[in-house]
Each structure stands twice: as structure tokens, then as C-alpha cells.
């Protein structure tokens, strides 16, 4: 059974939508690029905090690039949740929560 996805106005699948820790919207959308499957990661900054104006960007990945992104994000999660991570030190948590 295939998963149902929301689509853009042009009919491209939306694989995910989320808001980052600073309130920027991130959207992962099927790309219209011809050839191999590609996906685009759109980022929209809501506040003028980085360069003085709201910022937006679009990054396009092929399947290999998406796998590398997944691996990098998984490495981040594994490290952040590791008891050896310095942020998980009880003394750090006592001070910073």
C-alpha cells in the first residue's frame, strides 16, 4: 500500500513539512528535475535575523545525496542522544537544564 502525500499546486509530492527551532519553515518536495528522482528542501526564514532580510533557500538532492543527508542527520541524533555527549553530563544539565 502506497503512502498518501499532500501535493503542491503543480502536483509534486510533499514528503515532509516542519518548523525549525527558530521558527523557519522547512518543506521537502518532489523535484521536477528531468531524469533521476530528485527532492528539494525549501527553507523559509520568518524573521530578519541572519542577513537583515527574511531568507529563503532551496537545495536539491538526488537519491545518493538524500541518503547522505539522512546519514548525517542520524549521526547527529545518535551523538546528541549518546550518554557520552557533553550536553548529557549531569553537571552541564544542572546548570543549563
Domains and CATH numbers, the chain: 6-96 (2.30.31)
Q: Which residues pair with 7 in a beta bridge?
A: 13
Of residues 76, 73, 97, the one with CA closest to residue 87: 97
Q: For each successive 10 residues of the chain (97 residues), what is the average pLDDT?
A: 86 89 85 78 74 72 92 85 78 76
Per-residue model confidence (pLDDT) at position 6? 92
Q: What contacts 45, CB < 8 A, 6 or more positions away?
A: 22, 24, 54, 55, 56
Q: Whole-prediction pTM value? A: 0.69
Amino acid at each position: 500500500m502506497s503512502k498518501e502525500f499532500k501535493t503542491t499546486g503543480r502536483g509534486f509530492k510533499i514528503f515532509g513539512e516542519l518548523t525549525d527551532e527558530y521558527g523557519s519553515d522547512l518543506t521537502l518536495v518532489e523535484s521536477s528535475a528531468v531524469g533521476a528522482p530528485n527532492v528539494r528542501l525549501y527553507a523559509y526564514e520568518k524573521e530578519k535575523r541572519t542577513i537583515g532580510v527574511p531568507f529563503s533557500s532551496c537545495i536539491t538532492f538526488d537519491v545518493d545525496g538524500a541518503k547522505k543527508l539522512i546519514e548525517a542527520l542520524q549521526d547527529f541524533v545518535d551523538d546528541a542522544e549518546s550518554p557520552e555527549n557533553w550536553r548529557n553530563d549531569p553537571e552541564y544539565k544542572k546548570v543549563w537544564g
